[in-house]
Structure 1
Amino acid sequence: MKTSIQKENILKSSILFFTISAFILSALLFTSCSDNEGIEVNDDTVLIEKIESASKTEVDATSLPVATASTLNGDLADSFVETVQLANGLGFKVSVDTFNESREEEKSDVFFSLEGRQLNDTDEKRKRKRNKCFEFVFPIDFIMPDDSSITLNSKDDWSLIKDWYEANPDADERPELVFPVDVTLKEDGSTQTLIDIDELKTIKNSCKRSKDKRKCFKLVLPVTFTMPDASTIEVTERAGFKLLREWHKANPDATEKGALNFPVDVEYRDGTTATVNDETEYEAAKDSCRD
């Protein structure tokens, strides 16, 4: 009888031991899996810091692994590689320059592993340089340094500009965006018509300063522009601004822009209107928006 009781106690102890062991093992595996969920981000951050602090050698862009093409021809299709630096045993620091004016900064850095995987960069300052607070409404046009024009019908066409520069390696001038252009603000989805580079710069500055990205005022249509060849273009609806863009595409060597004919009425964000009588008042109105 005593022996039977001892065997039963031993059996119970064994079952308890294996149950506890299984529980501990499961907990360890769960913890390990949970830790691994964030390990890529953490490892990428550490690796980027190591690449930044390491001594680096500048190498040719052709030295980049094939796998980097998915990024350079994807999200960065609107950019071209300026320099490539290799940190031995760690990875690559790639400096890029963009011709996409919707990005907050022209120049930024991206990092890749030795295998060519883009590293997840959590540095807010670097990420902000590539940030876009608006998207262009396609099509948009560019005048190239040889006075040819390139039309982008979708974001996939940014590579056309990159291809042009690869075919013209001696060109050092940037492509000229043809205005007016429509942009969609990512903040609220509204569409704005930008009639010149000044209005585009104002929106970009608002992005950087986290201010209202909407235009301070818009022209009340119809308005008329006198072009450099003395012809006139009347814009009666927003879609009519494309007539100005088409004129500039057809006259790529024109050094002047179409002149807005005054007086014009403008409508401010709050719905109020005012009459602007000449260029001086128009510039003063734009300056007041920057304050």
Structure 2
Amino acid sequence: MKTIITSKRFFTRRIQSFATILVTIVAFTACSEQATIEELGLEDAVLIEKIESASKITVDAAALPTATKATFNDELADSFIQNVQLAKGLGYKVSLYTDNESRVEATSTVFFSMSGKQLNDQDQKRGFRRNKCFEFVFPVDFIMPDDSAITLETKADWVLIREWYQANPGVKVRPELLFPVDIQLEDGTIQTLLDRSELMAVKDACKMNRDKRKCFKFELPVTFTMPDASEITVNERADFRLIRQWHIANPTVTEKASLNFPVTIIYKDASTAIITDEAALIAAKVACRN
């Protein structure tokens, strides 16, 4: 027996078939576009430009893909998320802050794809802000706003500072880096920075693309008088940490150690000079800058 399909039923089936095909095409196209954006078609620089120029909405940091956690526990372990902006279908623009003073600037920007991959940003200005002028030689010590101490033994330990602020969300005061600290320059040279002024001198030289090496160093041993009148003698570079340990044990004391004179300084050309007081030491530093 033949089945007769009326024109109305036939027309309805044709519409349903066409609709199914159309939905399939749209779904395939959407998937293809997503795959192209995420993995296949767009280079990181192009995707970053699209994110920058697109309309964005501010979202909570918790909205970032899970894959970004690996980056924030590795290369960006020293960074806090200040702001996250989402360009729908493209990716994320993330504003960062860091207490790692080896970086050129405290604030910077990074980009992630929708899947959470950190994009390779070739923009020189943004990249320069994230660059490091030097590497800290661990351990590095900080006094936190509650007078507790955090010691970083490796670069991965920067997350300890971030975790402290996550546990104390109302605290805005930043941690205090304890001096002296050792740093390693690009050429492998190890330098000891006695205070913040010496650190800023290194960073200024970095920003101006000049020689970052200190003009001179102390001939050891040297002795420091601490705020409680005790003395610490530095016989070798590692002994500078004894000064930091004193401040860890006395976190409420803001007065710094004072250098006992006279001391001998050694210039980069191996020549030496005897420094008899603080004024002469300051003059020697000024002469270096000039």
> What TM bracket, shorter-length normalisation?
0.7 to 0.9
The residue number in structure 2 matching 1:260 is: 259
The answer as to 2:243 corresponding to 1:244 is yes
What per-residue deviation string (whole Å, max 9, x for no partner) do you get for residues 208-244 of structure 1? 1111111111111221111111111111222221111
The residue number in structure 2 matching 1:164 is: 164
- Matched AA of 2:255: E
Q: Which TM-score applies when normalising by structure 1?
A: 0.83
The residue number in structure 2 matching 1:228 is: 227
The residue number in structure 2 matching 1:219 is: 218
- What RMSD in Å do the two structures reach over aligned CA positions? 1.7
The residue number in structure 2 matching 1:153 is: 153
Once the two structures are TM-superposed, the CA of residue 42 in structure 1 deviates from its matched residue by 5.9
CA contact 2:73–2:156 (8 Å) conserved in 1: no
Partner SS state of residue 89, structure 1: coil
CA contact 1:41–1:120 (8 Å) conserved in 2: no
Q: 1:48 to 1:253 in 2, by over 3 A?
A: same
The residue number in structure 1 matching 2:105 is: 105
Q: Which TM-score applies when normalising by structure 2?
A: 0.83
Give unpaired runs (5+ residues) of structure 1: 1-35
Give unpaired runs (5+ residues) of structure 2: 1-35
Measured in 1, the distance between the counterparts of 2:145 and 2:76 equals 22
The residue number in structure 2 matching 1:174 is: 174
Q: 1:107 to 1:261 in 2, by over 3 A?
A: same
State the identity as a percent. Answer: 62
Measured in 2, the distance between the counterparts of 1:196 and 1:243 equals 15
Once the two structures are TM-superposed, the CA of residue 281 in structure 1 deviates from its matched residue by 1.8
The residue number in structure 1 matching 2:274 is: 275
The residue number in structure 1 matching 2:22 is: none
Measured in 2, the distance between the counterparts of 1:283 and 1:58 equals 48
- Matched AA of 2:119: L
**Aligned pairs for 1:1-291 within 5 A:** 43-186=43-186, 188-291=187-290
Once the two structures are TM-superposed, the CA of residue 91 in structure 1 deviates from its matched residue by 1.2
The residue number in structure 1 matching 2:20 is: none
The residue number in structure 2 matching 1:21 is: none
Partner SS state of residue 271, structure 1: coil
